[in-house]
Amino acid sequence: MYQSFIGLEVHIHLLTATKVFCGCRSAFGDEPNSNVCPVCMGYPGVLPTLNLEAMRMGCMVAKALNCSIPERTWFERKQYFYPDMTKNYQISQFASPLGQNGSLELEGRGANGERINKKVRIKECHLEEDAGKMIHTGTVSLLDYNRAGVSLLEIVTEPDMETGEEAEFFIQQLRRMVRYLGVCDGNMEEGSLRADANVSINLPGRGLGKKVEIKNLNSSRFVRLGLNYEIRRQAEVLDAGKAVVQETRLWNENRDETVPMRQKENAQDYRYFPEPDLPVFCPDKAFLGSVEDAIVELPAARLKRFVAEYTLAEEQADLICEEKAQADYFEAAVKAATGTAAAKTGTGTAKKALSKTDAADRIAKWFLTDIKHILHRDGLSGLDAFALSPARLASISVMQAEGRLSGKLAKQTLELVVAENRDPEAIVRERNWEQITDPAPIAEAARQVIAEEKATVSELAKLDGNNEKRRKTLFAYLVGKVLSATGGRADPKIAGEQVKALLEN
């Protein structure tokens, strides 16, 4: 068996309003070549200026990945020719990138369901400009330079991963993190987050083997499939007594295999030299302070806290923490239900606060079933304008917990809050949906049902002890009839007791 070594280079588009070295708009999907100027088109004599916001966002990611930020960081020119880069060089970082020697702790379950527990060292994070985009159509190639000069942060790991599953999980965790930080939208289809993966295999104890790079993987799944394919392919090459060729390959998603692209350049081929038109950047106290202040609680830490603080199952916490807005929504709803927040439902009639774990349990269940379903069904992308605010969800949960609202009607209330954008208390009051807990009207409804359902009652009377299952079915049927007769408002427990009492008489 061979040992495998996987490293990743992940490129993320920073969500700066303008490009990294000029004032052009930075946006996906605009009219081709509409966001260009002499600077990003590389006209002779133009001067780049550093976008401080790009530097700040880059440093936020570096900090979140436990990197150190050097006292002096600067830019280099990386020389190479490519039609999508009019300058024939790319401004990048080489000798002193903005983030150095960090790590990311991977903890969770991979695509194959296996537990992943690994610390991946981060070699560096560097800021650079993206190239334009080539569109090959028929016999011609078109060039769109809107992307040329867009802020790009490259995150480079050490070859610490061993399986495609680990690499996929790394990408997913990193994607979640940069979205939490608000520095990248993480849209892999649009190329806002792209990964190159390198992999080598060798006999255990022999260190790294010959490195193969797989370029431009635009989904975390392809990262996994491509790497696992490449590990198998390289093992077959070595098993056959041949040597692996150091090269760059592409993942062919239609044929599920990697194909050769080019032999790999070495760093010296790029002839890096310091960019003479940009000064060295020395982050001062104020800058570093603004970086620290912008870093929110990171998703992995939040997930752990949700498990510990709210006793959620890890899977539940993972699903809720997938998006920061969801996790914020969840916590706001729990706070409102436990009465620790100032949040009011408007009518503010929630009578007693729930315990934190009871509230969390109820809110999590609502969120992961009905609410996810509604958001998906109604095509809602965010929770900001969602009619079912955290306070309104808390109110429904409290009414249900107090026994004032049955599960079925709670569900309908929730739907109506969304449809009508009104407070749940008002909806429940107006429709007279409060659960009936007074035994007298329930007993009356039960008497009527027993009188009407003669066949069922007589079958029940004839059943002996061997027909427990049938007895339960018939009993549930009668209780269901009582609930229907009260418009679903009767407390099911009391309805059951009344039916039982009548049958025994």
With CB under 5 A as the contact rule, which of the stretches 16-24, 103-111, 138-146, 340-348 interacts with Zn ion? 16-24
In whole angstroms, how close is the CB of 77 to Zn ion at the nearest point?
17
Q: Does 46 bind Zn ion (CB under 5 A)?
A: no
Q: Does 37 bind Zn ion (CB under 5 A)?
A: yes
23 by DSSP, 3-state: which?
coil
In whole angstroms, how close is the CB of 85 to Zn ion at the nearest point?
13
Q: Which of 6, 10, 40, 178 binds Zn ion (CB under 5 A)?
A: 40
Q: Which of 8, 24, 427, 490 binds Zn ion (CB under 5 A)?
A: 24
With CB under 5 A as the contact rule, which of the stretches 30-38, 244-252, 375-383, 466-474 interacts with Zn ion? 30-38
In whole angstroms, how close is the CB of 58 to Zn ion at the nearest point?
19
Residue of 104, 105, 102 whose CA lies nearest to 123: 102
Nearer to Zn ion, 92 or 172 (CB): 92
384 — phi, psi (to 5°)? -60, -50
CA 248-223-181 angle, 5° bins:
115
As a three-state string, the secondary structure of 230-296 is HHHHHHHHHHCCCCCCCEEEEEECCCCEEEEEEECCCHHHHCCEECCCCCCECCCHHHHHHHHHHCC
Residue of 409, 410, 308 whose CA lies nearest to 363: 410
Residue of 399, 436, 414 whose CA lies nearest to 369: 414
With CB under 5 A as the contact rule, which of the stretches 19-27, 320-328, 352-360, 371-379 interacts with Zn ion? 19-27
Element (H, E) at 6: strand 3-13
Nearer to Zn ion, 40 or 312 (CB): 40
In whole angstroms, how close is the CB of 37 to Zn ion at the nearest point?
3
Q: Which long-range contacts (CB under 8 A, 24 or more apart) does 298-305 make?
A: 298/64, 298/177, 298/180, 299/173, 299/176, 299/177, 299/180, 299/324, 299/327, 300/105, 300/107, 300/173, 300/177, 302/327
- Binding string, residues 189-228; x marks residues near Zn ion by CB under 5 A: ----------------------------------------
Q: Which of 6, 22, 60, 483 binds Zn ion (CB under 5 A)?
A: 22
Residues 301 and 181 sit within 8 Å (Cβ to Cβ): no
With CB under 5 A as the contact rule, which of the stretches 21-29, 84-92, 401-409, 454-462 interacts with Zn ion? 21-29
Nearer to Zn ion, 42 or 339 (CB): 42
With CB under 5 A as the contact rule, which of the stretches 33-41, 64-72, 74-82, 161-169 interacts with Zn ion? 33-41
Element (H, E) at 382: none
Nearer to Zn ion, 22 or 317 (CB): 22
Q: Does 85 bind Zn ion (CB under 5 A)?
A: no
Q: Does 148 bind Zn ion (CB under 5 A)?
A: no
Q: Which residues bind Zn ion (CB under 5 A)?
A: 22, 24, 37, 39-40
